[in-house]
Amino acid sequence: MTNAQEKAAITRRTALAGMGAGSLGLAFARTSLHVSAQDSTPTSMTGHPFVGTWIVDRNPADPTEVPTYNIITPDGALIDPTVGAAGVWEATGPDTASFTLSGTITEPAAYFVVRTTVEVDPGGDTATASGSSTLVAADGTILDQAMFSGDQAAHYVRIKVEPPEAMGQPLPGFPAWTPIPGGTPVP
């Protein structure tokens, strides 16, 4: 893998680590829809099919990509506990939403921003996300940026309550991945 490919892989892992930034205090911060006279009527977030807990396969085309989780709250918060990222979301339609997610990384000293649109599939148990990611150095320099859609779109599977009798079975919808020899991939 070349240095540019490594940077792109790290950026994708880092930036898409979710799709959830920094501290839990920020994660639980409340957000509201701002509507002015010229804005269209907002779609309610209470009862929106995006609300819930999801397993996220950030790049199904990459078998080394470690799955992550997103927790979507009805008050507009998005949390990715896997990578310590958080953000905000809003409904854009009855089965669509947009979100902004951010988190910090230590190597390189930077933060990532993911700007995404999501469409929840009929039935509400799967979704697909496409958008962009930006990696920003601590001094504000843009280190990398990428668009993801089509075959690189993130896939979501809703986590459902399972009975204790499901012991010994994999979690439905959790994607398989190939660990990178010698360590864990950078989120």
- Do residues 15 and 146 touch, judged by C-beta distance below 8 A? yes
- Do residues 92 and 98 touch, judged by C-beta distance below 8 A? yes
For the question of whether the overall pTM of this predicted structure is more than 0.75, the answer is no
Q: Which domains does the chain have, with CATH numbers?
A: 3-29+43-160 (2.40.128)
Task: Give residue-wise pLDDT tens across range 11-58.
Answer: 444 444 433 333 223 333 333 333 333 344 456 688 999 999 999 999
State the pLDDT confidence band at 149, using cuts at 50, 70 and 90. Answer: confident
Per-residue confidence (pLDDT) for residue 151, from 0 to 100: 79
Per-residue confidence (pLDDT) for residue 34, from 0 to 100: 38
